[in-house]
Amino acid sequence: MKMIEKYSAEKIKVLEGLEGVRKRPSMYIGSTSGDGLHHLIYEAVDNSVDEALAGYCKKINVSLNKDGSATIEDDGRGIPVDIHPIYKVSAVQVALTKLHAGGKFDKKSYMISGGLHGVGISVVNALSKKFIIEIKREGKIYRQEYSRGDAKTKLKVVGKCDRADTGTKIIFWPDEQIFSTIVFDYKVLETRFREIAFLNAGLRIVLRDEIKNKKEEFLASGGLIEFVKWVNKTKEPLHKPIYFKREMNHTIIEVAIQYNNSYQENIFGFVNTINTVEGGTHVSGFKTALTRVVNDCARKKGMLKNDSILGDDVREGITSIISIKIPDPQFEGQTKTKLGNSEVKGFVDSMVTSALSEFFEENPSIAKKILSKAIDAARARMAAKKAKDLVRRKSVFSLGGLPGKLADCSNKKSDNTELYIVEGESAGGSAKQARNKENQAILPIQGKILNVEKSNPARALSSEEIMNMITAIGAGVGEQFNIEKLRYKKIVIMTDADVDGEHIKTLLLTFFFRFMPKLIENGNVYVALPPLYRVRKKKDYYVYSDEELKKITEKLGTSNVTRFKGLGEMSLQQLWSTTMNPQTRKIKKIFIEDAVEADRTFSMLMGNDVQGRKEFIAENAKEANLDV
Sign of the C-alpha dihedral, residues 275, 276, 278, 280? negative
What's the pLDDT band for 18 if we cut at 50, 70, 90? confident
Same domain for 338 and 468, yes or no, is no
Asked whether residue 357 is domain-assigned, the answer is yes
Residue 456: predicted pLDDT: 74
Inter-residue long-range contacts of 406-410, CB under 8 Å, 24+ positions, other chains counted = 406/441, 406/442, 406/443, 406/468, 406/472, 407/432, 407/435, 407/441, 407/442, 407/443, 408/441, 409/435, 409/436, 409/437, 409/438, 409/439, 409/440, 409/441, 410/437, 410/438
Which positions ≥6 away from 282 have C-beta within 8 Å? 253, 269, 271, 276, 322, 324, 339, 344, 345, 348
Sign of the C-alpha dihedral, residues 403, 407, 410, 416? negative
The count of structural domains within the chain is: 3
Which positions ≥6 away from 188 have C-beta within 8 Å? 34, 38, 593, 594
Same domain for 321 and 353, yes or no, is yes
How far apart CA 144 and CA 132 sit, in angstroms, is 6
Same domain for 486 and 424, yes or no, is yes
- Burial of residue 388 (CB within 10 Å: 0-12, 13-18, 19+) is middle
CB 167 within 8 A of CB 75: yes
Residue 149: predicted pLDDT: 93
Same domain for 321 and 434, yes or no, is no
Cβ neighbours of 609 (radius 10 Å): 18
How far apart CA 483 and CA 489 sit, in angstroms, is 10
Active-site positions? 423, 496, 498, 500
How far apart CA 99 and CA 119 sit, in angstroms, is 5
Same domain for 73 and 162, yes or no, is yes
Residue 274: predicted pLDDT: 84
Res 395 pLDDT > 50: no
Asked whether residue 568 is domain-assigned, the answer is no
Residue 63: predicted pLDDT: 98
Residue 428: closest CA among 475, 468, 474, 488: 468
Asked whether residue 213 is domain-assigned, the answer is yes
Structural domain of 604 = 414-530+580-623
Which positions ≥6 away from 543 have C-beta within 8 Å? 531, 532, 533, 534, 535, 549, 552
520: left (phi over 0), alpha (psi -120 to 50) or beta: alpha
594-605 burial code (b ≥16 CB/10 A, e <16) = bbbbbbbbbbbb
Last residue of a domain, which of 167, 201, 218? 218
- The reported pTM is 0.70
Same domain for 236 and 201, yes or no, is no
Q: H/E/C letters for each residue in 419-435?
A: EEEEECHHHHHHHHHHC
Residue 443: predicted pLDDT: 95
Asked whether residue 403 is domain-assigned, the answer is no
Res 109 pLDDT > 50: no
Same domain for 327 and 312, yes or no, is yes
What's the pLDDT band for 388 if we cut at 50, 70, 90? low
pLDDT digits (tens, 9 = 90+) for 513-560: 888 888 988 889 999 999 989 999 888 899 988 888 999 998 888 889
Q: What is the CATH number of the domain that holds 81?
A: 3.30.565.10
What's the pLDDT band for 98 if we cut at 50, 70, 90? confident
